[in-house]
Chains A and B, each alone.
Chain A
């Protein structure tokens, strides 16, 4: 049970003078239950990559396997794939269209051809999962605040009960509180349901704090693929690719330069605090001895 991309390339505007290669020979594997961050500069191919995962874009060359089946096979059921790989686009609130939030969330499961009861159950469940207050369920989606609209839109995808949830920049344009709330809920979802989650972002802080693995895209190809610790070790190269490591990484390197024996691989504030305390404790003890 996994998604495998095998030498996937994609060219926008193929056979025209304006052809642009957006993906170049990308091979990746996403096992079940993993929380993966996909990061990259604007135009690095992140969004193009995720649109391949549910068949919205068809690779110019290469293969994609979902649970061992080639999704470009003639008898492969694309509609089924789309119900199992849920894709939340950038600014998903722009796709809301119904007269009330609840009906909008019902749109996805209704399209799956489920009966009314099941559709409504799933919609309630999804709305609860994203933490939208009950009194908003029957309001017009256009009367909600920005953060609430976004949750309603994410619920619209969750209601399809996907096995893989792909979020393209889910925190773009939100304030820090809204951002943390959404990311916390996504993390909870992964823990409680065992869903595979792919988070596209260009915020290193967001990614470092939540994900198990980071894929760095640069110019249409995979630049790094590993745990946050492994990837942020290359913070100098990341800068050259127009990205940056979390501020904590820079802080740790500075401290190390000044002679404090900290673990430079710390990527979150908690880890950093631990290693600083440790380093201070040890050096403190050493000072007492001498």
Chain B
């Protein structure tokens, strides 16, 4: 039942995008998301979609797999589109019952839908092609300079990777405890909201206990291997920029230049 979540999942395959340094992917994704808010005409979005399509193609992750992850935010998407469509004041296009669609509303609704969709697909490429460990490694390295301001960068990164690592374990555990309680006649699916909340007690108590037990075991295991924080700790596979990473940075800059030029300049002239 809980195995179907694909949002934020890693897709194991071999591709150029998979091999890129996580810092390139993190930085690139961030820049890509920011760029989406600069565009003021369809041409800019066309460039963004084209760029995304090329990256998806290079990543060897089936497009179908990404769309599956989109299902989770479908509700949010429909809500945003709906609000923008009906509640934006402006020149009236169609009007029925109490609802009015305006020209401006239609424009913002379509823009928002496109923006949200490519924003989510764009960022899911990062998680789909980067293992959680790699991702936190990249984050740690990128946030490295913050150590000067006494930000515990290594600790934060370690906590993140532990948290990510434990998601599938705890999901499995939840599944198991749920089944065990269902076998004892527990009912998680019927009744009103209070009854349902109460029905969760037999699930949550064992889950928390098991999480604490695992945390305790992990702490012991780390200590018995002499873990004492990030001070002076070296990496087995240190992150090093290679030629392909610089090329990737180049591509991102090129995309930004083309996108922002087309996405803004044409509009002011028209």
Instruction: List A residues at the B interface (Cβ < 8 Å).
Output: 12-13, 51, 54, 56, 79, 82-83, 86-87, 89, 92, 94-97, 107-108, 110-112, 142, 156-157, 160
Select which of B180, B185, B205 is within 8 A of A89 by beta carbon.
Answer: B180
The answer to whether B187 touches A111 (Cβ under 8 A) is yes
Interfacial chain B residues near A89, Cβ < 8 Å: 176, 179-180, 183
Interfacial chain B residues near A56, Cβ < 8 Å: 179, 182-183
Q: B107 at the A/B interface (Cβ < 8 Å)?
A: no
The answer to whether B185 touches A160 (Cβ under 8 A) is yes
Q: How far is the CB of A217 from chain B (nearest CB, A)?
A: 19
> Total A-B residue pairs with C-beta atoms closer than 8 Å?
58
Q: B193 at the A/B interface (Cβ < 8 Å)?
A: no
Instruction: List B residues at the A interface (Cβ < 8 Å).
Output: 3, 176-177, 179-187, 201-202, 205-206, 209-210
Select which of A51, A112, A142 is within 8 A of B185 by beta carbon.
Answer: A112
The answer to whether B210 touches A83 (Cβ under 8 A) is no
CA distance A176 to B202 in the complex (A): 31
Q: Nearest CB to that of A13 among chain B residues? A: B3
CA distance A89 to B178 in the complex (A): 11
The answer to whether A111 touches B183 (Cβ under 8 A) is no
Q: How far is the CB of B113 from chain A (nearest CB, A)?
A: 28
Most chain B beta carbons < 10 A, residue from A51, A111, A160: A111
The answer to whether A111 touches B179 (Cβ under 8 A) is no
The answer to whether A95 touches B181 (Cβ under 8 A) is yes
Q: How far is the CB of B105 from chain A (nearest CB, A)?
A: 39
CA distance A100 to B126 in the complex (A): 48
Interfacial chain A residues near B3, Cβ < 8 Å: 12-13
> What are 28 A-B contacts defined by CB distance under 8 Å?
A12-B3, A51-B179, A54-B183, A79-B185, A82-B183, A82-B184, A82-B185, A83-B185, A87-B180, A89-B183, A92-B180, A94-B177, A94-B180, A94-B209, A95-B180, A95-B181, A95-B202, A95-B206, A107-B184, A107-B185, A107-B186, A107-B202, A108-B184, A108-B185, A112-B185, A157-B183, A157-B184, A160-B185
Q: How far is the CB of A56 from chain B (nearest CB, A)?
A: 5
Q: How far is the CB of A107 from chain B (nearest CB, A)?
A: 6
CA distance A5 to B16 in the complex (A): 48
Interfacial chain B residues near A86, Cβ < 8 Å: 183
CA distance A95 to B182 in the complex (A): 11
Tell whether A97 pairs with B179 under 8 Å between CB atoms, given A108-B184, A160-B184: no
Q: Nearest CB to that of A105 among chain B residues? A: B184
Q: Nearest CB to that of A85 among chain B residues? A: B183
Q: How far is the CB of A264 from chain B (nearest CB, A)?
A: 40
Tell whether A87 pairs with B183 under 8 Å between CB atoms, given A94-B177, A94-B210, A95-B177: yes
Select which of B176, B183, B205 is within 8 A of A97 by beta carbon.
Answer: B205
Q: How far is the CB of A39 from chain B (nearest CB, A)?
A: 21
Q: Nearest CB to that of B182 among chain A residues? A: A56
The answer to whether B201 touches A97 (Cβ under 8 A) is yes
Interfacial chain B residues near A79, Cβ < 8 Å: 185, 187
Q: How far is the CB of B60 from chain A (nearest CB, A)?
A: 12
Interfacial chain A residues near B176, Cβ < 8 Å: 89, 94
Interfacial chain A residues near B185, Cβ < 8 Å: 79, 82-83, 107-108, 110-112, 160
CA distance A107 to B181 in the complex (A): 9
Interfacial chain A residues near B201, Cβ < 8 Å: 97
Q: Nearest CB to that of B65 among chain A residues? A: A17
CA distance A156 to B206 in the complex (A): 15
Task: Known A-B contacts: A51-B179, A94-B177, A107-B184. Give 17 more (CB < 8 A).
Answer: A12-B3, A54-B183, A56-B179, A86-B183, A87-B180, A89-B180, A89-B183, A94-B180, A94-B206, A95-B177, A95-B206, A97-B206, A107-B185, A111-B184, A111-B187, A112-B185, A160-B185
The answer to whether A96 touches B206 (Cβ under 8 A) is yes
CA distance A97 to B177 in the complex (A): 11
CA distance A54 to B183 in the complex (A): 7
